[in-house]
Amino acid sequence: MALTDIFKKEGDANKAVPEKKERKTAVSKSEETKTGRKMSGAEGSVLLRAHVTEKASNLAETNQYVFLVSKEANKKGITRAIESFYGVDVVGVNVVNVPGKRRRRGRGIAIEPGYRKAIVNIKKGQSIEVMPK
């Protein structure tokens, strides 16, 4: 008889222990983009999400699309990820490193993190639906 058994009620021994419910795990941002598609390992580590701005929507008219990519991504990896994920032919990729900005927080200065974006040129006649309808 254990020391804690003296605090148990007589009816507690007959009750079954309820099983734990399985929780659904949330999909991380790298696995699912705003388009609703799920990315596999290589694509998810390169492409983060589409960069949706007014300037990016104007570039889409000329078959150029803007994506936020990981800081370790290179042009060949970006090309492979776009071609396999969206099923389009990539003509060229331009990569821009956007530096972080300094912001005042009271008396101190905080540095916001920078990011890397890729401007992808695709073949004429093809398109990528960045924003779902």
pLDDT tens by residue, 27-84: 444 444 444 555 666 667 899 999 999 999 999 999 999 999 999 999 999 999 999 9
Q: Residue 113: CB partners within 8 Å, gap ≥ 6? A: 100
pLDDT tens by residue, 113-125: 999 999 999 999 9
Q: Where are the domains of the chain?
A: 28-122
For the chain, what is the mean pLDDT? 81
Strand, helix or coil for residue 46: helix
* CA separation, residue 120 to residues 10, 15, 27, 60, 131 (Å): 71, 62, 26, 10, 16
Q: Contact 96/104 with Cβ under 8 angstroms?
A: no
Q: Which CATH architecture has domain 28-122?
A: 2-Layer Sandwich (3.30)
pLDDT tens by residue, 71-95: 999 999 999 999 999 999 999 999 9
Give kind and range of the element (H or E) at residue 84: helix 75-86
